[in-house]
């Protein structure tokens, strides 16, 4: 059977104007750590997560009863309830609560991708659930890597390659960025964590003690959750009755 659906990759939000989002399912990825946090939060019973680019706009959500999560340059923002570690989301108190989140790269990538037909949040933690969703859709797919302040990064690119590999039965790589990501993933597939431990992110945040976070974020198929953007909120499409 001929594979007709396509999967494109945008390696940095700075390059989104060179790619097409329309009529596609967009998978947004910011492995370290925004989309890993969103996946973990929804898996642990958070009701919804609202991504906001503006720090002060996010801060004001506290008054509306939201838990506020804020990170800039890898560090928790002062006055916010939590920062950007997935472990912070695994709290019984968060079950059924609403979270507003702002991060250095991830929230920007999500907001710039709203032109797509569907926006899905991807991470290694829910790779299988995302692959199942994309595979069952009739649409082409674009994986949007959040990168780091406009630069291409390793961990998001490796995720893109991993997802393309999982989609090999239904979608074929569409363009050079997709083939680069797939090659980089296939070359490193047996040592993903080791490779990501050499990444700019790991080096940059070493002093913040994020190695435990990185190890967690690189674990594959921990959760079956499927975070979908509905209006301004990300909710679990898996448990959603719609």
**Contacting positions for a second copy (CB under 8 A):** 11-12, 14-15, 17-19, 148-154, 157, 175-177, 179-181, 183-184, 186-188, 195, 198-201
Gap between the Cα atoms of 50 and 97, Å rounded: 11
CA distances (Å), origin 172, targets 113, 142, 160: 21, 11, 13
Helix axes 154-166, 176-188, angle to 10 degrees: 90
Report the residue number, 101 or 160, with the smaller CB distance to a second copy: 160
Report the residue number, 23 or 151, with the smaller CB distance to a second copy: 151
Q: Minimum distance from CB of 89 to a second copy (Å)? A: 26
Report the residue number, 189 or 212, with the smaller CB distance to a second copy: 189
Gap between the Cα atoms of 102 and 52, Å rounded: 5
Report the residue number, 11 or 164, with the smaller CB distance to a second copy: 11
Gap between the Cα atoms of 215 and 169, Å rounded: 29
Q: Minimum distance from CB of 169 to a second copy (Å)? A: 19
Q: Minimum distance from CB of 187 to a second copy (Å)? A: 4
Q: Minimum distance from CB of 100 to a second copy (Å)? A: 28
- From the list 34, 45, 36, 76, the residue with the least C-alpha distance to 59 is 76
């Amino acid at each position: 059977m001929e594979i007709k659906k396509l999967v494109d990759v945008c390696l940095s939000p700075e390059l989104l104007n060179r790619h097409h989002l329309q009529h596609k399912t967009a998978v947004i990825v910011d492995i370290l750590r925004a989309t890993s946090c969103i996946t973990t939060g929804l898996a642990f019973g958070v009701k919804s997560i609202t991504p906001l680019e503006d720090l002060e706009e996010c801060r004001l959500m506290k008054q509306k009863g939201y838990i506020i999560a804020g990170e800039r340059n890898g560090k928790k923002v002062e006055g916010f309830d939590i920062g950007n570690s997935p472990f912070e989301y695994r709290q019984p108190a968060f079950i059924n609560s609403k979270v507003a989140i702002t991060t250095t790269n991830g929230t920007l990538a999500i907001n710039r991708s709203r032109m797509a037909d569907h926006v899905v949040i991807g991470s290694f933690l829910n790779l299988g659930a995302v692959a199942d969703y994309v595979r069952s859709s009739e649409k082409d797919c674009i994986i949007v890597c959040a990168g780091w302040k406009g630069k291409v990064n390793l961990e998001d690119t490796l995720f893109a390659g991993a997802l393309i590999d999982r989609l090999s039965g239904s979608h074929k790589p569409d363009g050079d960025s997709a083939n680069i990501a797939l090659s980089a993933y296939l070359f490193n597939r047996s040592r993903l964590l080791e490779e990501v431990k050499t990444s700019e992110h790991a080096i940059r945040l070493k002093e913040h003690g994020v190695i435990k976070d990185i190890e967690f974020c690189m674990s594959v198929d921990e959760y079956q959750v499927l975070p979908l953007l509905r209006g301004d909120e990300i909710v679990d499409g898996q448990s959603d009755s719609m």
